[in-house]
């Protein structure tokens, strides 16, 4: 950490919505080490889809800067089951939080978007200027579009009011502390859990959705946290910025690698009646490096090992506690 970073964060009051979550927990740790004062609104105290709740939160937090991470998220299954909730809750949170931040003359508002905002057939690697060249992949379009409205709002408020808000587009995140709930987890924790449980139960096969052909890019959670804080420190434009690692792996190769790292040796059966999701995902990450010096540091296999080790330790601890 540089002296400039310490000076930027020292005694700054930062409200981190979603600060108790997966990515939020790493951002909060990094903010504490940089000397920031942090306020984390909890879901029990505040319903961030309601303006009166948002106003109460701002009254209590009195932030200089907001990092808005809170979202209703999930994998393909959760998106298909709850499209209306995913649209409404994410839209209302983002739009009202940013508006009230403007009303209170906050120094800066950092909005976290999603790679699901990109059109289904975006040329690879995804460039920020391609964001509006088509409709998102159908299974997560309501979520992706709800989050993308914060980009529209950020640009409109900067144009009319000169308000300083920024919009980042992180690729799929993974790492320790991720959500391993089978009902709502994303692909990496879902596959890690599936392989470990099959190995433990001595199963000779597991089932995976789709045909394994789609590709994905993944960013280790600590890298993502660092990128977000660098943007908060150095970036002051409403042009969207991708946050990613620049790597690409097929779901088939990903599952093969997870099986190897978890020690699962059985067969993999692909259920082609289930949706694949977006065909390819890989970001052009040059803007983040150019604008605020962000480059991912953690090697993918190393990151997967850390994630698997954390989950194994957690389940062991949980089982001992029963």
CATH of the domain at 222: 3.40.50.720
Q: How many CB atoms lie under 10 A from the CB of residue 299?
A: 12
pLDDT of residue 75: 76
Q: Whole-angstrom Cα distance, residue 236 to residue 213?
A: 38
Query: Residue 79 — pLDDT band, cuts 50, 70, 90?
Result: confident
In a domain, residue 226? The reply is: yes
Range of the domain at 158: 3-317
In a domain, residue 92? The reply is: yes
In a domain, residue 277? The reply is: yes
In a domain, residue 282? The reply is: yes
Return the residue matching tokens 């080490």. 33
In a domain, residue 269? The reply is: yes
Q: Whole-angstrom Cα distance, residue 111 to residue 100?
A: 13
Residue 1 has pLDDT above 90, yes or no: no
Catalytic residues: 143
In a domain, residue 298? The reply is: yes
In a domain, residue 307? The reply is: yes
Q: Render pLDDT for 245-284 as a digit per residue (tens, 0 to 9).
A: 999 999 999 999 999 999 999 999 999 999 888 788 899 9
Q: Render pLDDT for 12-65 as a digit per residue (tens, 0 to 9).
A: 999 999 999 999 999 999 999 999 999 999 999 999 999 999 999 999 999 999
How many separate domains does the chain show? 1
In a domain, residue 322? The reply is: no
Q: Render pLDDT for 129-150 as a digit per residue (tens, 0 to 9).
A: 999 999 999 999 999 999 999 9
Listed in sequence order, the residues at least 6 apart from 158 whose beta carbon sits closer than 8 Å to its beta carbon are 164, 165, 238
């Amino acid at each position: 950490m540089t002296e400039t970073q310490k000076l930027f964060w020292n005694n700054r009051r930062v409200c981190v919505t979603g600060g108790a979550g997966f990515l939020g927990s790493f951002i909060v740790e990094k903010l504490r080490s940089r000397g920031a004062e942090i306020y984390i609104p909890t879901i029990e105290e505040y319903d961030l889809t309601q303006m009166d709740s948002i106003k109460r939160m701002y009254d209590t937090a009195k932030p200089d800067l907001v990092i808005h991470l809170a979202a209703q998220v999930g994998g393909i299954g959760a998106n298909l089951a709850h499209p209306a909730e995913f649209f409404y809750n994410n839209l209302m949170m983002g739009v009202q939080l940013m508006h009230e931040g403007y009303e209170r003359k906050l120094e800066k508002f950092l909005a976290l978007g999603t790679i699901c905002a990109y059109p289904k057939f975006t040329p690879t690697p995804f460039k920020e200027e391609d964001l509006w060249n088509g409709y998102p992949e159908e299974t997560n379009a309501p979520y992706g579009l709800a989050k993308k409205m914060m980009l529209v709002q950020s640009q409109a408020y900067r144009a009319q009011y000169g308000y300083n808000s920024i919009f980042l587009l992180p690729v799929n995140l993974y790492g320790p502390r991720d959500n391993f709930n089978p009902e709502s987890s994303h692909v990496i924790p879902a596959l890690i859990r599936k392989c470990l449980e099959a190995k433990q139960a001595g199963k000779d096969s597991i089932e995976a959705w789709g045909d394994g052909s789609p590709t994905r890019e993944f960013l280790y959670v600590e890298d993502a946290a660092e990128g977000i804080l660098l943007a908060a420190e150095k970036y002051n434009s409403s042009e969207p910025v991708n946050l990613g690692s620049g790597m690409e792996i097929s779901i088939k190769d990903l599952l093969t690698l997870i099986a190897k790292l978890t020690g699962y040796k059985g067969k993999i059966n692909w259920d082609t009646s289930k949706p694949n999701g977006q065909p390819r995902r890989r970001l052009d990450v040059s803007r983040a490096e150019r604008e605020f010096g962000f480059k991912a540091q953690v090697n993918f296999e190393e990151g997967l090992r850390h994630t698997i080790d954390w989950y194994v330790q957690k389940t062991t601890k949980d089982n001992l506690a029963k």
